[in-house]
Amino acid sequence: MKINIEKETEIFRDNKQSIIDLQKENSREINGDQPLDDIKAKVISYIGQPSRSKGKRTARVVIMGPRGSGKATLASRLANKYNFINLNINQLVQREKLSASRLARRIKGSD
């Protein structure tokens, strides 16, 4: 399957802001054009910040970017090095589509 990077980047940019706005209070943005070690250091520094409440805190890292930008590679490396759980949403959706579940029918109906 050939990927049109310009089109994928445009789609990503059109939708990125709405996702960021939904989680504005709980998210931090990191420039992905930095060296990988700098990105990892930023992620770890954000995760290490003290909690704002006394409740149990679970770190979550969401990596966004256009198709082919290295999101899966970065997520895999972070997961391996820092014992994170790596969830690839696209992969989970594709796997669910292959099943015969009610959710799979709903996903297929929204395509």
Q: d(Cα 4, Cα 7) in Å, to the nearest integer?
A: 5
pLDDT band, very low/low/confident/very high, at 58 (cuts 50, 70, 90): low
Residue 76 CA: distances (Å) to CA of 50, 56, 71, 85: 25, 25, 9, 9
Q: What is the pLDDT of residue 111?
A: 60
Query: Of 93, 88, 84, 47, which Cα lies nearest the Cα of 71?
Result: 88
Domain chopping of the chain, boundaries: 5-49+58-110
Residue 55 pLDDT grade (very low, low, confident, very high; cuts 50, 70, 90) = low
Q: What is the model's pTM?
A: 0.44
Query: How high is the pLDDT of residue 56?
Result: 67
Q: Which residue in 67, 56, 54 sits closest to 6, CA to CA?
A: 67
- In the predicted model, what is the mean pLDDT of residues 87-95? 81
Are 47 and 61 within 8 A, CB to CB?
Answer: yes
